[in-house]
Each structure stands twice: as structure tokens, then as C-alpha cells.
Structure 1
Amino acid sequence: MDTVVDELYLSLSNVVKWIAIGAIVFGGIVPYIPQYKEIKRTEDTEGFSLFVCLTLLIANTLRIFFWFGKQYELPLLIQSIIMNITMLAMVHLCVNIRNKNQIIRNKDKVFSDFDLQYFWAWTDFISYIDFLIVFHIACGIVMYLFIDVPLFVELVGFLAVLFEAMLGVPQLKKNYQNKSTLGMSVKMVLMWTTGDIFKTIYFLVRQAPPQFWICGVLQILIDIGILSQVYLYRNSSGVRAKKQDMPD
């Protein structure tokens, strides 16, 4: 009888483990599905900060290179790769819609102009790819040179999770500038919060490096700040929505 119970417990533990791994690997992309659909439906990118994508691309790229210096759990590495692909899909959509909505076609702004004024506001998707290629090459060279320096490796890991913790800051700033959360998917932020809580608990239980769970807590606090803006700007968002719905 005890053997049957032990086998059942082991099987249940394995199921829970694989569910947790699946949630870690793919859970990060789920919040961006409603935001992606919202942008595609309205053909308006005004309420979404593209710097959210930049923050996550930097964070996950650093985390990928951190793995070469300190090999943490494989699901976290796979998650970083999938998140980078997801962020590129978001950038591609936003760039296409911005170009489509331009009534008067201005001069193209591209990465090769090296104009800081238009950094991450380029008008072609290839420029974003060019930036990421350069960033990956730079990270690869530096990591290769200092991979045997433990302090440097730990610094890369800390910067990776710190950037990820800051992913909500551009959206927080965007909402503050607009004095509205119109165009931002509230579902996305709610999923951020749920995912960040789950992720932080996972880090603690699995004894991930301290950088991971410390920044996870910071990320939860920023999520709460954005959700507070939804309440604070509820009236102004409603007014803007009515104006947009009015016929010309």
C-alpha cells in the first residue's frame, strides 16, 4: 500500500513539476497576447511603450549570456529565448502600424544614422534587428573576455534581472505622460503581476540566485504601481475613449 502511495505521490510531483516548468517557459509571453490583439484591433500604438520591448530584449539577452558564466536552470534559459522572439513580434507589429498611420511620409529614421534622438524610434524593423545584432556581438565579446571573473559574471546576472524588473517603468512613465491608460491592456498588467508573483515564489523555492527573487519583488511593486494608475486615470481614459469613438 505504501509503495502505491509513494508512486502516486511521485507521479503527482512530476506532473506539478512539468506544469511549473511549462508556466515558467511560456507564461512570460501570455501577458502580451491581449496587448498584441489590442494594438492590432485598434491599429493604435499610442498607449503602449515600445521601450517595454527594449527593456525585455536587453534583460533576456543578458540572462542568456549569464547562463554561459553560471549555468542556472534550463527552463529559465529557454524562457529568455522565447521572450526575445515575442518582443521582436511586438516591435514588428508596432513599427508596421506606425508606418501605416503616417499621413505624410517623413524621412526614414534608421539605426545606421546613429542619431540618439531617434533611438528605438526607427521607422523600419530591420534597424531594430541591426541594433540587437550589435548588442549580441558586444555582449559576446565582453563575456568571452571576462567569463573567468566570478564578480563580473554575477554582475551580468544582476543586470539581467534588474532590467527585467524595470520592464514596467516605461509603461508607468507612458501612462503618467498621457495621464491615461487608454491603449494599454489592463489584462497584460494583471498577467504581469500574476506571473511575477508566481515567478518570484518559484525562484525562492528552487533556490535560484538571489538576484532573481530580489528583482522579482521589485517587479511586483512596479506592477502594483501601474495598476494604481488604471484607477487614478480611469476618468481621463474614459473621456479619451469617447472622443476617439466620436465620428469625424
Structure 2
Amino acid sequence: MDAGVGLQEEDVEESWTMLSWFASSLMVFGGALPYVPQYQEIQRSSNTEGFSTRVCLVLLIANILRIFFWIGKQFELTLLLQSVVMILTMFAMLHLCCAVQSTNRVSTKQHRLSELDLNYFWKWSLFEDYLLFCFGFTVLCAVVTLLLLDSAVFVETLGSLALLFEAMLGLPQLLQNFSNRSTKGMSVKMVLLWTAGDVFKTTYFVLNSSPAQFWVCGSAQILIDVAILFQVLLYNQDTRIKLG
């Protein structure tokens, strides 16, 4: 009897370990997966108009800051790996966008980081300029973090800034929908998938006792998702709601 109970407990423990491993893997790579079809579409169409490189800017800054937050306050390794994967994903998207825009460019005029022209900030012609900017930003963060690492206030503020950038990722879409009084190109199904992903992410943060910044960020993202969902329902109430 005791042997049977022991085997049952072992099976439960093994199942829980597998479930935990699956959830961690989903956290690491799940955020990057939506960009795979977008990458393939840009490759196929040689057109970058449907993708804003500003998304890359926000996510690069957020995840670089999150890595330095981890140095000051070590949380789950899963969330650190998630940041590394997202940074690599954003670099891949930027590299493709630069290559496509270079091919399609009519004018030979190129805009470079070295020109220090704010009108063309994050609109540079060469991928190397984006790398250089991120390298400079990383060095700056490293120096400041090294000087203030012993300050708990600084570390917590760093984490809050990192997650604030990430939490506000959906805000431009929300404001654009409100301004246009339209959610053309969006569907209930798509927004529900966004919401489900953010709910999963926030639940993971809570269950793993992640720093408060993470679940606050997740909660803010869920609220923005719900607001966008209401916009889709409101602006399409007189038409057939797209389901896919």
C-alpha cells in the first residue's frame, strides 16, 4: 500500500515537473512566436509597412533594463532568458526591415546615427546603427547600475521602468483605435489571443512569486487588452464581427 502511494506521489511530482518545464519554455519563447509569421510575411512581400520598428525600440529598451534589474534583484532565470530571446528576436526583425528597405529605397540618401538628427531617430538606414545605439544604451545602463547597485530604491525603480515600457506596448494601438474610431484589421479572435497570453503570463508571475513589477505590468497589459476588445466590439457593432 505504501509502495503504491509512493509511486502515485512520484507520478504526480513528475507530471508537475513536466508541466512546470512546459510553462517555463512557453514563457521563454512565447513572446517571440508572434513575430515569426510577421517575419515570414515581410520576407515574402518585401514590404515593411505593416510593421513598426518602434515596437523593436520599446521592447529592446524594456528587456535591456530588465536584464540589469535581474543583476540587482535576481528573480527566475526563465524571465532572464525570456529577455535575451526577445532582444535577439527584435534584432532579427530590425535586420530584415533594414535589408528590405535598402532594397526598396529609391533615393541613395542614407540616414545614420552619427548625424544626430532627431527627426530620423530610429529611422536609420543601416542595421549597424541600431546595434550601436543599443550597445551605447547598454553601456550607459551598466555604468549607472554599477554605481547604484547597492541602492534598493534604484533597483526597484529600474525594474519598474523596464516593466512600464513593456506594459505600455499596447497603448499606441488603443489610442490609434480611439482616434480613428475604427479597429480595421483587428478581430475578436486576435485580441482574445493577446489577452489569453497576458493572463497566462501574469498568472505565471503570481504563482512563481516574481517581483511585484512583473504582475503589475501583466495586469496593466490585461486591462489594455480588454479595452481594445471593447473597442473591437463597439466599432464593429453594426457590422459582422470578424472571427479570424
How high is the TM-score relative to the length of structure 1? 0.84
Q: Which residue of 2 is the match for residue 113 of structure 1? A: 115
Give the Å deviation of 1:174.
Answer: 6.0
Unaligned residue ranges in structure 1 (runs of 5+): 235-248
Q: Which residue of 2 is the match for residue 162 of structure 1? A: 164
1:23 to 21, 26, 43: 26
Give the Å deviation of 1:225.
Answer: 4.3
Per-residue deviation, residues 124-145 of structure 1 (Å, max 9, x unmatched) = 1111001000000000000000
Aligned AA (1:51): R
Aligned AA (1:100): T
Q: Which residue of 2 is the match for residue 241 of structure 1? A: none
1:46 alignment partner, SS class: coil
Worse-matched range after superposition: 37-46 or 15-24:
37-46
1:138 to 137, 140, 153: 140
Going from structure 1 to structure 2, the CA distance change for 1:15 and 1:62 (only over 3 Å counts) comes to same
Alpha-carbon distance in 2 for matches of 1:106, 1:48:
23
Q: Which residue of 1 is the match for residue 92 of structure 2? A: 89
Alpha-carbon distance in 2 for matches of 1:41, 1:189:
25
Alpha-carbon distance in 2 for matches of 1:96, 1:230:
34
Whether the 8 Å CA contact 1:108–1:123 is kept in 2: the answer is yes
Matched pairs, number: 234
Going from structure 1 to structure 2, the CA distance change for 1:66 and 1:125 (only over 3 Å counts) comes to same
Alpha-carbon distance in 1 for matches of 2:52, 2:174:
9
Whether the 8 Å CA contact 1:32–1:188 is kept in 2: the answer is no
Relative contact order (alpha carbons < 8 A, sep ≥ 6): 1 or 2 greater?
1
Alpha-carbon distance in 2 for matches of 1:224, 1:132:
32
Alpha-carbon distance in 1 for matches of 2:97, 2:182:
19
Q: Which residue of 2 is the match for residue 12 of structure 1? A: 15
Alpha-carbon distance in 2 for matches of 1:100, 1:185:
32
Q: Which residue of 2 is the match for residue 240 of structure 1? A: none
Whether the 8 Å CA contact 2:188–2:233 is kept in 1: the answer is no
Q: How does 1:38-187 map to 2 (within 5 A)?
A: 38-102=41-105, 104-172=106-174
Alpha-carbon distance in 2 for matches of 1:92, 1:188:
26
1:72 alignment partner, SS class: coil
Worse-matched range after superposition: 89-98 or 112-121:
89-98
Alpha-carbon distance in 2 for matches of 1:80, 1:122:
24
Give the Å deviation of 1:113.
Answer: 1.0
Alpha-carbon distance in 2 for matches of 1:55, 1:185:
24
Give the Å deviation of 1:33.
Answer: 1.2
Aligned AA (1:133): F
Whether the 8 Å CA contact 1:48–1:171 is kept in 2: the answer is no
Alpha-carbon distance in 2 for matches of 1:226, 1:41:
29
Aligned AA (1:61): I
Per-residue deviation, residues 202-222 of structure 1 (Å, max 9, x unmatched) = 011111111111111111233
How high is the TM-score relative to the length of structure 2? 0.85
Alpha-carbon distance in 2 for matches of 1:185, 1:130:
38
Give the Å deviation of 1:99.
Answer: 2.4
Going from structure 1 to structure 2, the CA distance change for 1:229 and 1:122 (only over 3 Å counts) comes to farther
Aligned AA (2:85): I
* Identity %, equivalent residues: 52
Alpha-carbon distance in 1 for matches of 2:147, 2:190:
39
Going from structure 1 to structure 2, the CA distance change for 1:190 and 1:87 (only over 3 Å counts) comes to farther
Unaligned residue ranges in structure 2 (runs of 5+): 237-244
